[in-house]
Structure 1
Amino acid sequence: MAHLTVSDVTLSFGGLKALSNVDMIIEPGLITSIIGPNGAGKTSMLNCISGFYHPTRGDIFYKDKKLTNSSPHQVSNMGIARAFQNLELFSGLSVLDNLLLARHQNLKYSFLHAIFFYGKASRIEAENRAHVETIIDFMELEPYRKSLVGNLSYGVQKKVEVARALTLAPDILLLDEPMAGMNQEEKEDIVRFVMDIQKEKEITVVLVEHDLGVVMDISDQIYVLDFGEVIGSGTPEEVAQNPKVIEAYIGED
């Protein structure tokens, strides 16, 4: 069964169509990239999947669950997490505290337990902290765990943004241009982590990225958007040979 199915999704803002009759099948365990020129609708597609936008028409299914009109909180609880292109971190808090805050939906205990911090509250807090520590180790953030996020370099902050999404223990991870604004060394670092997330943690990755070299190197399947429509899809090899993709995205001589 496909992890995620996008069926005939159209998204309109007044007279402007951001997405038009989009169909996608996100297979489990793969890295699926969504590419296209600026304004093609890539981030709008992620917004629809993650619940920030609701399609004007069409449906989105995760396994057997319809999430077309679900809220971001409901989508997150289903097992879909997102790292944003624009950092959504608390700059005045430490890396550790940012990641612990991301686990708030897992802190399910009574007000009384919270006041006296015993029994269930203590156990759940310990379990969540242990989980966060494993993500810190996985993303190699140990040197920064107590540092204020606002004092860190942009490249490290982007790693924290990905780590924040990973703390939710998702089945599907949506990455919106995780390498934007990075130098070559930082890009290579993030690429390594994306591949490790897929292989070691067995998480399905949906990647929006402008760097075609990265996309072609690490993707299992690719969807190409142009003016909100899917103009090509398939393996990197198939997409690279698609005349419509060459014309719209890569350009012709």
Structure 2
Amino acid sequence: MHRLLLLAAMLTAVPVAWAVEDVFPGVIESPPPQYPAEEFYLGITGTVVLIMDVGLDGAVEQVFVEQSSRNRALDKAAIDAARTWRFSSAVVNGVPARGRVRIPVSFAWEPGDAEDEAMRERALTLPSRLQMPASSVELDADGTVPGYIEDPVPLEVGNVADAIAMLKARGSQRSTAGMPPGVAIYTLDGENDRTRWLVYEGAHYYAPALVRKRVAHDGRHAYLVTRVLCEAMEADVCARLDRGVQRPYRQRAVPLAPGPGR
């Protein structure tokens, strides 16, 4: 299955106000943030621009969001990571001083050759009923297709409760570490090949609802397709989930025939 990887933050610290001979804080240790599991699954990407106040000892004293990623979980993950970073202290007029830096932290997909090959192999074993119509998805010049492509294959069950029961009985649940309450991710090997499910239950805002993803292809390229089922009592809740899942973004399409040298 195509794997999602976190691109390390581009740690190019920018001084806010220095004389030419002064030195601003330099990055010494910067463990990357943990990609929030729900956003990771849905393919939500973004860049958070942080302003960080650095003390005399190189520790981060305060973190401010100068530019949000427009996703609360990504912003929080970047802030939490930044608080653990260490810097060399600033130098002003030859004396160690507190400093301030600006750092962008990017969350993005970065598939590798192994992930592409695994996705290609899975796509090529799909029965015809699980394939997409030929040329049903338009490929962009950069080799991407829409991030949200609706899956025409129906869900294995007709309602969220039955789906959750099926997943708990036959599926494999990933670790819940870092997951919000009421959110779970499952993998199921079944009648529709291998599918991945994001489930909302209990008191979660979207509950009861689920998002299913699987690998498909149109005869030329493999990509992920998505199907959503929301049974929340209020229609605007389901509309909000749909907007989140269907937001404009791109995913990489994997050619079914590997290119030269692959």
TM > 0.5 fold call: no
Q: State the TM-score, normalizing by the size of structure 2.
A: 0.23
Structure whose residues are more often strand by fraction: 2
- Structure with a larger share of its residues in helix: 1
TM superposition score normalised by structure 1? 0.23
Flag the structure with more relative contact order, 1 or 2, with Cα contacts below 8 A and sequence separation at least 6. Answer: 1
